[in-house]
Structure 1
Amino acid sequence: MRKTTWKRAGVALVAAGLVTGLAGCNDGAKTGAKAGDPTNASQFIKAAYEKTSAAKSAKVKMTMKMEGLGPESGTMEMSGTTGWNPAIADFTVKGSMLSAGDPDAPEQMRMLMLDGVMYMDMGEKQAAQMEGKRWMKLDLSAAAEASGDKALQKAMTGNLDQMNQDPAQQLAFLLDSPDLKHVGAEKIDGVETQHYKGTLTVEQMMKAGGTAELLSKADRDKFVETVKKMGMTGYDTEVWVNEDGYPARMNVDMKMAQGSVEIRADYTDYGTKAAVQAPPADQTVDLFKMLQDASKALDEGKGSEALQD
C-alpha cells in the first residue's frame, strides 16, 4: 500500500475523532431546566444542553481547518448524520486533508463510524490495490498499537481523537466559561436564533464546576486531561440556539502550543434516525492486519516493499 494511503487514513481518523468523539460520550441529561429569558445565558444554554443530549443525533454540515499541526494541517468538509450516546457517524468527506498529497486520492470519501471502528471508502483506484475491496476498516486502538510508527500513532490517537464534538457536551463546557454571554438575536440561514459565546483556558477548566451538574466526573476529567496533553491554551465556543432550543450553528476554536483547530458545524433535523451499518466483511480490508504484516516485513528488512504494496 502507498505511504500516502496510510497517511490519508491517519489524517481522516484524526478529523473523524475530532468530530465524532471516539473516546467520549454523554451519559444523558439531567432534566429540569427551562429556557426562559434568552438573556439569562446560563439558564438558556443549560436548557439547550438538555434538549440536545436527549435528541442523540442530528444532521450536520461541518468545516474543519487545522493550522500549524504538520501533516495533519489543512481543511476538511463533512456532511451527513452524527449521533452521540452512542457515538456513530455517516459522513461524506472532502477537502485538502483528504488527499494527503496523493494524486490518486478520491475527490470525496464516505466515512462511517460504529462501535469505535471507522470504515472509509478509499475509492476505485485504491480498491485495485486491495483485491477490489473499497472499504478500509480502521480500529483506532488496535491499529495504532500494531503500527509501531510513532508518527502514525500520534496522527490516529494523539489526543485529537478524544476531543469530543458531541454538541451537547460542548454546551456543557460552555457553561463553565467565566465570560459566557448573550450576544443577541440573529438569523442563521433564515432561522431565528439566539447567539452566545464564551472562552475557557485549561486552568479555568480545571477549576470550574458547572459541568459537574451535567457530565459524569469521568467524562469531565478525561476531557480536561486531553486538552492539557495537547498543550491547549484557549478554547473558544460560539453557539446559535434556534427557537426549538437546539444549536443551529456551533463554532469551536481550539488554540494549541503548535497550531490551532477551527470547527464550524451547522446542525438540523435533531433526533433524525442515525442508523449506521458496517460494510460487508468481504468488501473490507482490515488495517490492523495490514499494519501487522507491514511490521513483520520491516523486521525482515522489507519495509519499503511492504509500504508500497
Structure 2
Amino acid sequence: MTVGVVRGRKGRQRAMGAVLTTALLCTGAVACGGGDDKSDKADSGKTQSRSQVTEVITAAYKKTSAAKSAKVEMTMSMPSAMDGGGDMKASGVMGWDPMVMDMTMTGSALTEGAPDAPEKVRMLWRDNVMYMDMGAKAAKDMDGKRWMKMDLNSIAEQAGDENLAKQMTGGMDSMNQDPVKQLAMLLDSPNLKHLGPAKVDGVETQRYKGRLTVKEMMESNKGLDEVLSKSEREQLFKNIEKSGIKGYDTEVWVNEDDLPVRMDIDIKSPQGTMKMSQTFSDYGAAAKVTAPPAGQTFDLMEMFKELGKAGAGAGSDSAL
C-alpha cells in the first residue's frame, strides 16, 4: 500500500471509526435507556410488595430466556463528549441463545464528525464477528467490498488475551442489550420497585424500576449469582469499573404474558449520561444470521495492520 493511498483513506477511516464506535455501543456497551416516555399513563393501581415484584421479574427472566429471540426497536442517545456521540435508531431481530443480531442503524451518531460515513448501516453479528454494510461509496476504499468485518475472536487471539474481545465491547457475553441479562441485573437492585400499571403502544403492562450502583453490584450476590456464572459476574464488574460508570437506572414494562415489552436504561458516566430505550415484540421470531460471502467482506484489522506498516515506512522515508 502506498503512502498516497494511506492518506486518501483518512477520511473514510474516520467514517469507519464513527460507525464502529456506534455499533459497539449498540451491541456490547453497558447501555442505556430513557428519552421520551412512549408509554401512555394509566390509572395507578395497588403497589406490589418487594416479594411480588421479585416474583414478576423472575418470571419475566425465565420466560424471556426461553424465548431466545425477539424483534427489537431501539433508540440511543450518547453524550457529545463521547466518541460517536449523538442519537441513533436501530431496528431488526436479536437472538440471545446463541447471541446474534441483524439490525439496521440510522442517526447522527453515525455521521457526527465523519461526513463520509453512511447515513444508514446494516449490522450483522454472529459467532462474535461483526459485519457492517458501509455502502457502495465506501467500497472504493475497501478493495471494492462494501461489508466491513471485525472478528473479535481473531483480535483476542492475536493479542494473546482471551478476555480482550469482551473488554472491547463492554462484555458482550456478560452484559449487553440481551434482555435476559438486563433482567438479571434488575433483580439485583436493592430498591427494585413497582411503579404501577401503564400502557406501551396500547399494550397493558406493569412498570418496574431499579437503581444500582457499581458498589452495590459488587457487594450483592443474590440475583447475579442465580443467573450468571462466577466468571461472567467477575468480568462484568471489571468492565464497568474500567468504564468509570458510577451506576444506572433500569426500567422495564412487563405484559400479562410475563414478557418485557419495553426496557430503558440510563447510564451515568464521566462523559455524561447515555440513554437507550428498547421495545420488544414477536418473541421467538427467527433470528438466523448469515454472514456475507468472504469475497464481499473487508477485514478491518487487516487494514489497520497495513496502515501501520505503511505509516512506519512513510516515517522512514521522511527521515531520509
Query: What is residue 125 of structure 1 aligned with on the other side?
Result: 137
Assess if the C-alpha contact under 8 Å between 1:8 and 1:97 holds in 2. Answer: no
Query: What is residue 217 of structure 1 aligned with on the other side?
Result: 230
Match of 1:105 among 117, 137, 143: 117
Share of identical aligned residues, percent? 50
Match of 1:247 among 251, 254, 260: 260
Aligned: 1:157 with 2:168 = yes
Aligned: 1:7 with 2:18 = no
Q: Which has the larger Rg?
A: 2
Helix, strand or coil at the partner of 1:80? strand
Q: Give the direction of change, closer, same or farther, for the CA distance of 1:231–1:108 in structure 2 (3 Å limit).
A: same
Aligned: 1:291 with 2:304 = yes
Assess if the C-alpha contact under 8 Å between 1:247 and 1:267 holds in 2. Answer: yes
Query: TM-score of the superposition, structure 1-length normalised?
Result: 0.84
Q: Give the direction of change, closer, same or farther, for the CA distance of 1:4–1:46 in structure 2 (3 Å limit).
A: farther
In the comparison of the two structures, how many residue pairs are matched? 284
Q: Give the direction of change, closer, same or farther, for the CA distance of 1:214–1:71 in structure 2 (3 Å limit).
A: closer
Q: Give the direction of change, closer, same or farther, for the CA distance of 1:64–1:196 in structure 2 (3 Å limit).
A: same
Assess if the C-alpha contact under 8 Å between 2:60 and 2:259 holds in 1. Answer: yes
Assess if the C-alpha contact under 8 Å between 1:14 and 1:157 holds in 2. Answer: no
Query: TM-score of the superposition, structure 2-length normalised?
Result: 0.81
Match of 2:147 among 120, 128, 135: 135
Deviation for aligned residue 1:264: 0.4
Deviation for aligned residue 1:302: 6.2
| Alpha-carbon displacement from aligned partner over 1:135-175 (angstroms, at most 9, x marks no partner) | 1111236459989xxxxx99x92747675121011011101
Which ranges in structure 2 are unaligned for 5 or more consecutive residues? 1-7, 31-45
Helix, strand or coil at the partner of 1:221? helix
Query: What is residue 196 of structure 1 aligned with on the other side?
Result: 208
| Alpha-carbon displacement from aligned partner over 1:186-228 (angstroms, at most 9, x marks no partner) | 1100001110001000110001122211221122221111111
| Alpha-carbon displacement from aligned partner over 1:32-91 (angstroms, at most 9, x marks no partner) | xxxxx9821111001100111111111100011111543221111110011112211001
RMSD in angstroms over aligned alpha carbons? Answer: 2.7
Query: What is residue 52 of structure 1 aligned with on the other side?
Result: 64
Q: Give the direction of change, closer, same or farther, for the CA distance of 1:119–1:57 in structure 2 (3 Å limit).
A: same
Query: Which residue identity does 2:90 align to in structure 1?
Result: M
Query: Which residue identity does 2:117 align to in structure 1?
Result: A
